[in-house]
Homo-oligomer: A and B are copies of this chain.
Amino acid sequence: MKRETEAIRDLLFSPIAVELQEVEERLRAGLESHSSLIAEVSSYVLGSAGKRIRPALLLLSAKLCGSEDGSRSVALAAVAEYMHVATLIHDDIIDNADRRRGLPSANSRWGSHVSVLVGDFLYARAIQILVEDEDFRILKAFADATVSMAEGEILELQTYKKLDITYEEYLKIITCKTAALISAACQAGALISKTSEEQVKAMADFGLNLGIGFQLVDDALDFVADEERLGKPVGNDLKEGKITFPLIHLAQNGSDGAQRRLRVLVAKERFDEDDLLEVRELVEKHQGVQATMEKVHEFLDKAKASLKLFPDSPSRRSLLCMTDFVRERDW
Contacts and interface: CB of A to CB of B under 8 A. Distances in A.
A114 interface: yes
A26 interface: no
Interface in A119-162: 119-121, 123-125, 127-128, 131, 134, 136, 139-140, 143-144, 146-147, 149-151, 153-155, 157-158
Taken together, the copies of this chain in the complex come to 2
A119 to B, nearest CB: 8
A146 B127 contact: yes
B120 A90 contact: yes
B94 A35 contact: no
Contacts of A35: 151, 154-155, 158
Q: Is the interface of A mostly helix, strand, loop or mixed?
A: helix
Contact of A123 (B123, B158, B172): B123
A49 interface: no
A127 B154 contact: no
A236 to B, nearest CB: 15
B124 A112 contact: no
Of the candidates A139, A140, A143, A147, the one having the most CB atoms from chain B within 10 angstroms of its own CB is A147
Given A123-B123, A128-B143, A113 B157 contact: yes
A176 B116 contact: no
A34 interface: yes
A261 B158 CA distance: 50
A248 interface: no
A277 interface: no
A131 B143 contact: yes
Contacts of A114: 154, 157
A114 to B, nearest CB: 6
Nearest to A134: B136
Nearest to A110: B157
Nearest to A94: B113
Contact of A172 (B34, B90, B120, B127): B34
A117 interface: yes
B38 A121 contact: no
A181 to B, nearest CB: 12
A119 B134 CA distance: 26
12 contacts: A33-B151, A38-B150, A90-B120, A93-B93, A94-B117, A113-B157, A116-B116, A117-B157, A120-B123, A121-B150, A125-B147, A131-B139
Interface of A: 33-38, 90, 93-94, 112-114, 116-121, 123-125, 127-128, 131, 134, 136, 139-140, 143-144, 146-147, 149-151, 153-155, 157-158, 172, 176
Closest 9 CB pairs of A and B: A121-B150, A124-B146, A120-B150, A124-B147, A94-B113, A35-B154, A127-B143, A128-B143, A117-B154
